Each structure stands twice: as C-alpha cells, then as structure tokens.
Amino acid sequence: MSRPKLFREINFKPGITYFKPQGVPLCLLKEVEITTEELEALRLKNLKNLNQNQAAQLMKTSQSTFQRILASAYQKITLALIKGSAIKITK
C-alpha cells in the first residue's frame, strides 16, 4: 500500500492549462502532464527567485521533497520541448 500524498500549498491557479507546438495537429502529438504542484515549484524557484528552502516553506513541504518536485517538472518540460510534445497541466 502506498503512502498517502500530503497536502502541499499551491498559491497559483494557471489560466491556461495546455500548450502545444505551433503548426502540429493535436492528434499527432504525445502529451506530457505537469501537475499544478510542479508548476508552483517552477513558479517559486524561477519567477519568484526563491531558494529551495524558502519555496519549500511556502509549499509546506521539506526542501528535499521540493527538490524532487522541481526535478520532475524540469524533466517533463525538457522532454516536451526536445520531443515536441504537448504539455497538459493537471491537478
């Protein structure tokens, strides 16, 4: 049995939840799913320029968990950009 997912504070709700390469029909694209948790980590680290400890405190999680969330987000976005996949933001 897996451990239940803990609540993480997310203070951002994206207005747009889907991105795709221009000029490619959606039916031909694979999707990469980014969670709102991962998007919040990217926002705090890259747009707010917070260090990992500050960002982790705002999300009410540990620094090591914040690092894992951030690494997952970077990996997914990199994959989407390199492979030309669509990005879907999910809860």
Running along the chain, 91 residues long, what does each successive block of 10 average in pLDDT? 73 90 94 97 97 97 97 98 96 87
The model's pTM: 0.88
- Token reading at 41: 């980590």
Indicate the DSSP class of residue 84.
Answer: T
31 contacts 77 by C-beta, under 8 angstroms:
no
Phi, psi of 38 (to 5 degrees): -65, -40
3-state class (DSSP) for residue 33: strand
Long-range pairs, 62-67, Cβ under 8 A, ≥24: 66/41
